[in-house]
Structure 1
Amino acid sequence: MMNSSSPLMFTVRRRPPVLVPPAASTPSEVKLLSDIDDQEGLRFNIPFIFIYRHEPSITGKDPVKVLKHALSQTLVYYYPFAGRIREGVGRKLMVDCTGEGVMFVEAEADVTLDQFGDSLQPPFPCFQELLHDVADAELIIDRPIRLIQVTRLKCGGFILVLHLNHIMSDGAGTKQFMNAWTEMARGAHQPSIQPVWRREILMARDPPHITCNHREYEQILSPIKEENTNTIVHQSFFFRSSDIASLRRLVPHQCTTFDVITACFWCCRTKALQLQPYEEVRMMCIVNARPRFSDNRALVGYYGNCFAYPAAITTAGKLCENGLGYAVELIRKVKVEVTEEYMQSVADLMVIKERCLFTTVGSCVISDLTRAKFREVDFGWGEAVYGGVAKGGAGPFPGATYIVPHKNVNGEEGLILPICLSSQDMKRFAKELDEMLGR
């Protein structure tokens, strides 16, 4: 575990940001985003970080030049990323494919990777130095869609940080883009998977009609204690295989690793918040819907948002009293609700309810990044020491977390949960987690 009070300090020298356009001419057109893409809850940038050690076998290659050149080649195929997002009638978002390019920053830091010690997981020390212009992170319209900084380290390693505009891609789509970028960096002439736009697949019907129950979008007022974002702290929790085995012993039936970690997070967080027993709490699980479509071959290469976050709902009292197995069952039931029809219903709801935000009161959201395997993103320097989200939270919503595969400083493989809570709630969360794990 590591909190934001890390003593490591270092200085980064940045060159002025430049725009990297596609390496060849691309279509000049306007492309509509889907009605799943442009919901209110996705109008933010999410920072991803990839950390690489020095690779002696490729001494002499400058990672900045390699990545920058490969990026321009990749944008020939993913040219909408080189455009700008515009907002039209009814807040409908679209991409103006201008070919202007993505924002790219070259930098150098006076620090070695070894100096990070066990800080190679969220939250990262001096993170604001590793990504230019973080102050405007929430702005997405009429701005570069990608913001990238590559920072060389004294040891010969480097750190890549990207702001990924969630309107454009989900986790699966982001990994597809990253894979294409790495292929170009390693000498390929085109991506092995050709990108597919096809946002019309997830457009609202005409006329739109809601056919499923979407409690994740309920607009409710509640006396539930909300997090004071001024006192939020960030901390990551590392789960060894032995920890996951301990959690499984608390569940009286078979369950997935995702289910048991999600249940654990939900229960510990709810107890840490010290809610009243009658207060409603909900856990929204990100479900990749691609496999749920009858013709999922049509989605091969699709890099837009294609997921839902159905809500498991109960009261704080029931969740805390009934044990981990109860939470697991609630989570399992809502995950199977996501079907092709469910996704179409969400698209229709977005039009009918004017792109409403998901329920934030009493809510938390979790996304599983284990299958995306971001650590395997390899530009030629080998797999990343760390690859994944740079912090917990999602835009202005602190109640989001991610399950990220990670190898700790001792070489142990495990999973981390980067979370955001107030300092006092974080202490209670850590205590509840230790008790649940029998530490």
Structure 2
Amino acid sequence: MASSPLIFTVRRFQPELVLPASSTPREVKLLSDIDDQQGLRFNIPFIFIYRHEPSMEEKDPVKVLRNALSQTLVHYYPFAGRIKEGVGRKLMVDCTGEGVMFIGAEADVTLDQLGDSLHPPFSYLQELLYDVTGSELIIDRPIRLIQVTRLKCGGFIIAINWNHIMGDATGLKQFMNAWAEIARGVHQPSIQPVWHREILMARDPPCITYDHREYEQILPPNNTIKEEDTTTTTIVHQSFYFRPSDIAAIRLLVPFQCTTFDLIAACFWYCRTKALQLEPEKDVRIMCLINARSRFNNNHSSFVGYYGNCVAYPAAVTTAGKLCGNSLGYAVELIRKLKAQVTEEYMKSVADFMVIKERCSYTTVRSCVISDLTHAKFKQVNFGWGEGVYGGIAKGGAGSFHGASYIVAHNNAKGEECLILPVCLPSEDMRRFEKELDEIIANQNQPITSVPSFVKSTL
């Protein structure tokens, strides 16, 4: 049985708009046709946790980070603007310099009191990120919402709502590094940000050259399948630790070389599909977010400093019966093939697809999405208080879609370097998911550790 969440009080200061420290260009910048697709039009919460640092005793993290943010916005001035929607649902940034929403706060709790809950899902996220802007809205709102909460022990927590249409995980890491560098006293970021969104604009005329099954628009039947009917269902947000020994055990089930990402993604897809108890003939799919920067033939230098979205999420499709009736290696092989699809031409085809198909969203029917956040190394962002205790996603899901998950690096209570997989499912399905995952590594002495947090599906 899960332990009761710790109750603590957060006192927030008056929310304020933080403006760039000096004048910035007043202009309108078009977002790319990769940026402004429907599937990225949501805010995603990230958490960064830092311990007390004796050498910073005299410094207030709220003031240091607020001042550094103002200076960082001189370089990343589009973030201080507002997103607008034009003809054909084309998104753009009006660089007005109005600022980002910033909240300083203090909590009557220490990191030690928070114990082993310093990873997703954060049951107390609403205390750390007070939604004063309407996180489900992206048009004509502050592009960024940030709360910095001082803790009683001298540590602090940064919570940030990252607007996905403005950038991917690589873009977020670049912004966070720039902010941290300026907080440590440098005058400008070591990597200068560049806009260059024209690289990922649709061609003229647009031409779709791939079969983009990730965007197949499947209408659910009248008796909507249960994984979509979450309006009155209690959704369980639960994270699963994968220890090195767990990965080694799973690897024994696959008779060929593959990455750790492939293994965890295959487990996620397989166990989730079995947990949902779908009819064997139904199509199921997994989409993997792929950073495509290295897939461009001659434009690598154009992506130095690029903080926009350069991601694709190609799909592997099979039937529930084939996925669940085959070994784990079957799912791994499908995932390896989908990852290999992404090329420069594939990205151009996606951009063209968005224009021709009116910026449609990816398929959510009997679908799941997974992203690898381990390469971003968010824990390494250093504002002067050293490396973080945790840095990364705050919970599973993507906006209102519960089928999304992320692989996050974290140390467990024993100090082991582990990987965390946050999963969102209805409670009964979650119990079946956990059982299936335990059976996959049944040759281990202990089951995969999981830490649940029960929340309503409206969160």
> If the TM-score is normalised by the length of the shorter chain, which range does it land in?
over 0.9
Are the aligned partners of 1:6 and 1:125 in contact in 2 as well (CA < 8 Å)?
no
CA distance in 2, matches of 1:431, 1:328: 20
Q: Which residue is equivalent to 2:27?
A: 29
Q: Which of 295, 304, 310 is equivalent to 2:314?
A: 310
Are the aligned partners of 2:287 and 2:369 in contact in 1 as well (CA < 8 Å)?
yes
CA-CA distance at 1:25 after TM superposition: 0.6
Q: Which residue is equivalent to 1:415?
A: 419
CA distance in 1, matches of 2:441, 2:152: 39
CA-CA distance at 1:71 after TM superposition: 0.6
CA distance in 1, matches of 2:305, 2:147: 26
TM-score relative to the length of structure 2: 0.94
Q: Which residue is equivalent to 2:365?
A: 361
Q: Which residue is equivalent to 1:197?
A: 195
Q: Deviations over 1:58-117 (max 9, x none)?
A: 111110111111111111110000000001111110000001110000001111111111
CA-CA distance at 1:222 after TM superposition: 4.1
Q: Deviations over 1:125-174 (max 9, x none)?
A: 32111111168211000000000000001111101000000010001111
Q: What is the aligned-residue RMSD (CA, Å)?
A: 1.2
CA distance in 1, matches of 2:177, 2:4: 32
Letter in 2 for 1:287: I
Q: Which of 144, 147, 151 is equivalent to 2:145?
A: 147
Are the aligned partners of 1:282 and 1:314 in contact in 2 as well (CA < 8 Å)?
yes
CA distance in 1, matches of 2:428, 2:415: 31
Q: Which of 49, 52, 67 is equivalent to 1:51?
A: 49
Q: Give secondary structure in 1 for the equivalent of 2:152.
A: coil
Matched, 1:269 2:272: yes
Q: Which of 56, 68, 71 is equivalent to 2:69?
A: 71
Letter in 2 for 1:248: R
CA distance in 1, matches of 2:381, 2:47: 11
Residues 134 and 431 from structure 1, CA distance in 2 versus in 1: closer, same or farther, beyond 3 angstroms? farther
- Gap runs ≥5 in structure 1: none
Q: Which residue is equivalent to 1:209?
A: 207
Q: Give secondary structure in 2 for the equivalent of 1:258.
A: helix
Letter in 1 for 2:227: E
Are the aligned partners of 2:35 and 2:308 in contact in 1 as well (CA < 8 Å)?
yes
CA-CA distance at 1:221 after TM superposition: 2.3
Identity %: 76
CA-CA distance at 1:408 after TM superposition: 1.1
- Gap runs ≥5 in structure 2: 448-459
Are the aligned partners of 1:369 and 1:403 in contact in 2 as well (CA < 8 Å)?
yes
Letter in 1 for 2:96: T
Are the aligned partners of 1:225 and 1:275 in contact in 2 as well (CA < 8 Å)?
no
Are the aligned partners of 1:290 and 1:296 in contact in 2 as well (CA < 8 Å)?
yes
CA-CA distance at 1:383 after TM superposition: 1.0
TM-score relative to the length of structure 1: 0.98
CA distance in 1, matches of 2:275, 2:4: 24
Q: Deviations over 1:241-296 (max 9, x none)?
A: 00000110000001000001100111111111111111111000000000000121
Matched, 1:324 2:328: yes
Letter in 2 for 1:172: T
CA distance in 1, matches of 2:5, 2:191: 43
CA distance in 2, matches of 1:101, 1:21: 4
Q: Which of 252, 255, 261 is equivalent to 1:252?
A: 255
Q: Deviations over 1:173-230 (max 9, x none)?
A: 1101011111101111111111010001111111111011100000012454324244
CA distance in 2, matches of 1:287, 1:334: 10
Residues 391 and 135 from structure 1, CA distance in 2 versus in 1: closer, same or farther, beyond 3 angstroms? farther
Q: Which residue is equivalent to 1:158?
A: 156
Q: Which residue is equivalent to 2:172?
A: 174
CA-CA distance at 1:342 after TM superposition: 0.5
Q: Which of 389, 393, 400 is equivalent to 1:389?
A: 393
Are the aligned partners of 1:8 and 1:125 in contact in 2 as well (CA < 8 Å)?
no
Q: Which residue is equivalent to 2:37?
A: 39
Q: Which of 222, 230, 236 is equivalent to 1:233?
A: 236
CA distance in 1, matches of 2:284, 2:327: 15
Q: Give secondary structure in 2 for the equivalent of 1:136.
A: coil
